[in-house]
């Protein structure tokens, strides 16, 4: 079994890229995504991809950066910062990997409250654009 710090490499290499196709290989078919703005977990690769793509479109990736990382076994915790419409966003991505290096659980937590509200607004816009595009 490889440690999470090896599994996270493709995530970092592709995060700011122009193609979301890497998600097809890095996400397990039965992945579960926990959004800070959706009450229920999102199940499966297709919905998780949609939410991750929408997040990428919402989170101002020009400002987005990971500021701290912790890897233990097959778990990664990545603290991030960004700015969306002048609102400072601080959050954590909590990722659980399977033995093949695919994400089986992806949980996002965000603070402060104004940031949660801003992310909710932008995610709704991005998901609507994906649905109509």
pTM to 2 decimals?
A: 0.91
- Residues 78-101: pLDDT tens digits? 999 999 999 999 999 999 999 999
Domain limits of the chain?
4-132
- Residues 2-35: pLDDT tens digits? 789 889 999 999 887 777 889 999 999 999 999 9
Q: Which fold has domain 4-132?
A: Nuclear Transport Factor 2; Chain: A, (3.10.450)
| Distance between CA atoms of residues 67 and 33, nearest Å | 22
């Amino acid at each position: 079994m490889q440690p999470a710090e090896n599994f996270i490499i493709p995530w970092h290499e592709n995060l700011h890229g122009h193609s979301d196709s890497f998600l097809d290989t890095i996400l397990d078919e039965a992945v579960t995504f926990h959004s800070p703005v959706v009450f229920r977990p999102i199940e499966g690769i297709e919905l998780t991809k949609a939410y991750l793509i929408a997040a990428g479109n919402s989170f101002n990736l020009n400002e987005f950066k990971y500021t701290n990382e912790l890897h233990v076994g097959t778990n990664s915790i990545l603290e991030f910062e960004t700015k969306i419409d002048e609102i400072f966003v601080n959050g954590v991505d909590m990722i659980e990997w399977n033995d093949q290096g695919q994400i089986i659980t992806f949980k996002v937590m965000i603070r402060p409250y104004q940031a949660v509200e801003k992310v909710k607004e932008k995610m709704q816009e991005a998901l609507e654009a994906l649905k109509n595009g």
